[in-house]
Amino acid sequence: MSKSRLLIQNLGVMPYQHAWNLQKKMVQERLDDPNLQDVLLVVEHPSVYTLGTGSTVDNLKFDLNEFSGELFRTERGGEVTYHCRGQVVVYPILNLRHHQQDLHWYLRQLEEVVIRLLRLYGIEGKRIEGLTGVWVDGQKISAMGIKVKRWVTMHGLALNVSCDLSGFERIIPCGIRDKSVTRLIDFVDDVELEKVKKEMVMMFVQVFGYDANLENS
């Protein structure tokens, strides 16, 4: 099986649980048939908080008993994060047997996708030793959390583009108390969200070595 084929699905704006269910369906299909092509889901979510499998509610600044929004505990790694409109989220459903069977490598590749995208805007995205994600001037611009089952991936990364960051004020993002979050629009005046989605796909294709002739759905 060649890793050259990548199916792109731009889901537009989709509730978190719908996208989560779609991921689980696609993962199971690839566990049943490892020769199915890799998929990259690109999406925005309405306002939602998600917790990793081992996350503590101590990183929530609100009372769960009085919270009326959406919150899900998922099977991904990492602590609490926030999704909302204006944030580009990508969920790669990849069979790492066709790439490298190395989770450290995979996370560094996801970071590289974001670093290359930011470079298009003249922004230097950086890694911080011991932490996952991408940072600009010491502030987190992209969070990552993954789940891998028999080398098939789900969940992924979120890049803050033009989103309202106030939702992050109600949590300790990723459980890191001494770091704040930022977004692309704080560094460049004119950002088109749909253009950033396309650039994210382009950078993903470059970093993971797919053919440029993509299949869209």
Tell me if 133 is assigned to a ligand binding site.
Answer: no
Contact 139, 180 (CB under 8 A): yes
Say whether 174 is catalytic: yes
Structure-block tokens of residue 211: 């053919």
| Residue among 152, 174, 196, 201 flagged as catalytic | 174
Residue 76 CA to residue 129 CA, distance in Å, equals: 21
Q: C-alpha dihedral over 54, 19, 182, 102, to 10 degrees?
A: 60
Residue 149 CA to residue 146 CA, distance in Å, equals: 10
Q: Beta-strand (E) ranges in 14-138?
A: 38-44, 48-51, 71-73, 81-83, 87-93, 134-136
Instruction: Tell me the three state secondary structure of residue 31.
Output: helix
Tell me if 64 is assigned to a ligand binding site.
Answer: no
- Is the alpha carbon torsion for 102, 105, 107, 113 positive or negative? negative
Question: What does each C-alpha distance from 60 to 54, 81, 140, 194, 199 come to in angstroms?
Answer: 14, 10, 18, 31, 33
Residue 76 CA to residue 186 CA, distance in Å, equals: 29
Tell me if 50 is assigned to a ligand binding site.
Answer: no
Tell me if 191 is assigned to a ligand binding site.
Answer: no
Tell me if 144 is assigned to a ligand binding site.
Answer: yes
Tell me if 143 is assigned to a ligand binding site.
Answer: yes
User: Which residues does the annotation place in the binding site for substrate?
Assistant: 76-83, 143-145, 156-158
User: Which residues does the annotation place in the binding site?
Assistant: 76-83, 143-145, 156-158
- For the annotated catalytic residues, the residue numbers are 174
